[in-house]
Amino acid sequence: MTTQLAAGLAEQAEFWGRAGQHIISKAKSVLAGLILPRRIGRFEVERYYRKAHRTRAWRRLSREARALLQAARRVVRAEVRSPALRSVLTEIFLSIELHTLRARAMLHALIKLLARGAEVISERLNPSTLLVIGLNSASWVLSAHACVARP
């Protein structure tokens, strides 16, 4: 069992070494297009504020991100039209989503597809298929177990 675990961890380290930051950032942008809302308004800001507290992502956010999310929660009444505010809120929403198992599994599947040289077109991707690919991966099980077993 120990050698099997060591082999799995070595395979995972080799995979992440090959992936590189470019593939990871591309996968995050595709994931954001798949799971984040197209329109950012009052209800979306409130929903992600509650989700951050529920998934304990709130404590992992930077102070600036927490302050901006609280301010947006109080100020935004209709749709956010500012491209700068929209992009910052999108980054915050993505970091909140990445604290869920669903988003981490989908990100892992996207990274595996991109690392293998697959052409990823976000309009053709099925989120449930990505979730299944991400959850069925053997290296994902090892990394998910490592994330859960925190001291």
- pLDDT tens digits for 36-50? 999 999 999 999 999
Residue 3 has pLDDT above 80, yes or no: no
Task: Band the pLDDT of 60: cuts 50, 70, 90.
Answer: very high
Q: What ranges do the domains of the chain cover? A: 2-35+102-148, 42-97
Residue 99 has pLDDT above 70, yes or no: yes
Burial (CB count <10 Å: 0-12, 13-18, 19+), residue 18? exposed
pLDDT of residue 149: 39
pLDDT of residue 112: 80
pLDDT of residue 64: 95
pTM score of the predicted model: 0.74
Q: Which residue is associated with the tokens 């697959």?
A: 118
